């Protein structure tokens, strides 16, 4: 039988020996540190901070980040990051990636726009897993409509006074540092800045949210009540944060698409294993033509999505990317994941509705990927406008 999880890379021009090395190191880490514990962590609805520290020691958190701050960047390309996302998904719980990797979108603004003092204070402990970061953009009044966010930061002397709230923030409880989008100027995209807000600042509180999936990773509502933030915690120029937020979305959507493809492969793998063992009407389930057709169609959707991911990653790496690419890619990936998870559930039958199968858990995680980082509706409209269909 074709090895679903590994065979696709061996036939791709984008993956070589160094990518396989990342595959094996991350896979070993997940098998040793996550796989034996993920069911317990899902029940407890938390991942211990020690897990982040172990990931830092294993070099997982620093992949692609500058060496001078504790990362690993020499010889690393975007496809290494995709492989890492693929292998983190092997735990069969999207919360593992969320618990470990929110700094992937929260730290880059600091490394690009922050002061040298800020970079050296924040980046090394984050990449070692000693500190945790979160990105706080979404608000109760709106998610993808970033240009109209309402959380306000008013400059008073050498401080910003922050008031407002954020919603659905991954790692919002555990995070020590939050990269927060705030309004420092007038309405629209030109009035938005980024601030580094730290967990213990007076007036800053968090509330944990219960969710459909990603149980082992916390998601929170954040509240800012006259929070005093030092002016030196401004990330980049005042009123200049919007463009960096949009750039962050591209990499976030690319990795989200790879996660969808990986989790789709898990569902297909479980469905194939079940179909080879389960017997109905005197023969194995896989010997029924309708089941074989389902499995083949699931594979078709996965392979088409992976090819699109690799194309967008190549464009990203070679400066040929377009925002519409990542918007359409994420829609393609999440819809493929939803279809594959549904069809896997059909093949497993009643077993897919009982805790204990990976398909049951992953089917609950479809929605967070379809909505987070830009909903399908918003992204399709964005792509249409970017492509000039208006």
Which tokens hold the place of 333?
């990936």
Q: Is the pLDDT of residue 377 over 50?
A: yes
What CATH number does residue 162 fall under? 2.40.110.10
Nearest Cα neighbor of 378 from 148, 177, 219 is 148
Q: Are 72 and 30 in contact (CB under 8 A)?
A: no
Q: How far is CA 267 from the centre of its chain?
A: 19
1 located within any domain: no
Q: How would residue 90 be classed by pLDDT, with cut points 50, 70 and 90? A: confident
Q: Are residues 337 and 297 in the same domain?
A: yes
Which pLDDT belongs to residue 10?
80
Q: Are residues 123 and 203 in the same domain?
A: no
Q: Which of 206, 226, 241 is the last residue of a domain?
A: 241
Q: Which of 127, 149, 183 is the last residue of a domain?
A: 127
Give pTM, 2 decimals.
0.93
Q: Are residues 110 and 142 in the same domain?
A: no
What CATH number does residue 293 fall under? 1.20.140.10
Q: Are residues 379 and 249 in the same domain?
A: yes
Q: Are residues 269 and 378 in the same domain?
A: yes
110 located within any domain: yes
Which pLDDT belongs to residue 78?
95
Q: Are 260 and 333 in contact (CB under 8 A)?
A: yes
188 lies in which domain range?
133-241
78 located within any domain: yes
Q: Are residues 106 and 146 in the same domain?
A: no
Which pLDDT belongs to residue 242?
84
300 located within any domain: yes
Q: Is the pLDDT of residue 218 over 90?
A: yes
Q: Is the pLDDT of residue 4 over 70?
A: no
Domain count, the chain: 3
| Residues catalogued as catalytic | 252
Q: Are residues 307 and 229 in the same domain?
A: no
Q: Are 137 and 245 in contact (CB under 8 A)?
A: yes
279-295 average pLDDT score: 92
Q: Is the pLDDT of residue 5 over 80?
A: no
Q: Are residues 66 and 176 in the same domain?
A: no
What CATH number does residue 100 fall under? 1.10.540.10
Distance CA 302, CA 137 (A): 31
Q: Are residues 261 and 347 in the same domain?
A: yes
């Amino acid at each position: 039988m074709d090895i679903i999880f590994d065979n696709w890379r061996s036939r791709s021009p984008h993956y070589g020996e160094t990518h396989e090395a990342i595959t094996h190191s991350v896979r070993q880490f997940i098998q040793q540190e996550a796989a034996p514990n993920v069911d317990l962590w899902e029940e407890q609805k938390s991942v211990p901070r020690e897990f982040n520290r172990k990931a830092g020691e294993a070099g997982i958190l620093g992949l692609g980040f500058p060496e001078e701050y504790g990362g690993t960047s020499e010889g690393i390309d975007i496809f290494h990051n995709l492989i890492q996302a693929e292998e983190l998904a092997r735990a069969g719980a999207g919360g593992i990636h969320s618990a470990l990797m929110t700094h992937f979108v929260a730290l880059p603004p600091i490394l690009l726009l922050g002061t040298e003092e800020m970079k050296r204070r924040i980046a090394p402990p984050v990449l070692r897993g000693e500190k945790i970061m979160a990105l706080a953009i979404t608000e109760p009044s709106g998610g993808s409509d970033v240009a109209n966010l309402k959380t306000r930061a008013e400059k008073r002397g050498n401080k910003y006074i922050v008031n407002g709230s954020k919603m659905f923030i991954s790692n919002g409880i555990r995070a020590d540092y939050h990269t927060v989008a705030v309004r420092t100027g007038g309405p629209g995209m030109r009035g938005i800045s980024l601030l580094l807000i730290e967990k213990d600042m007076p007036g800053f509180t968090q509330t944990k949210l219960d969710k459909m999936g990603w149980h082992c990773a916390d998601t929170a509502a954040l509240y800012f009540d006259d929070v005093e933030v030092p002016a030196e915690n401004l990330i980049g120029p005042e009123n200049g944060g919007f463009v960096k937020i949009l750039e962050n979305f591209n990499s976030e959507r690319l990795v989200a698409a790879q996660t969808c493809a990986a989790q789709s492969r898990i569902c297909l793998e479980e469905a194939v294993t079940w179909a080879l063992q389960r017997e109905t009407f005197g023969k194995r389930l896989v010997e029924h033509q309708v089941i074989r057709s389902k499995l083949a169609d699931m594979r078709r959707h996965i392979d088409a999505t992976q090819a699109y991911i690799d194309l967008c990653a190549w464009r990203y790496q070679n400066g040929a990317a377009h925002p519409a690419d990542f918007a359409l890619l994420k829609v393609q990936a999440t819809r493929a994941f939803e279809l594959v998870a549904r069809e896997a559930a059909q093949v497993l039958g009643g077993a897919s509705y009982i805790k204990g199968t990976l398909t049951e858990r992953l089917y609950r995680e479809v929605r967070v990927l379809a909505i987070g980082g830009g909903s399908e509706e918003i992204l399709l409209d964005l792509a249409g406008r970017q492509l000039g269909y208006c």
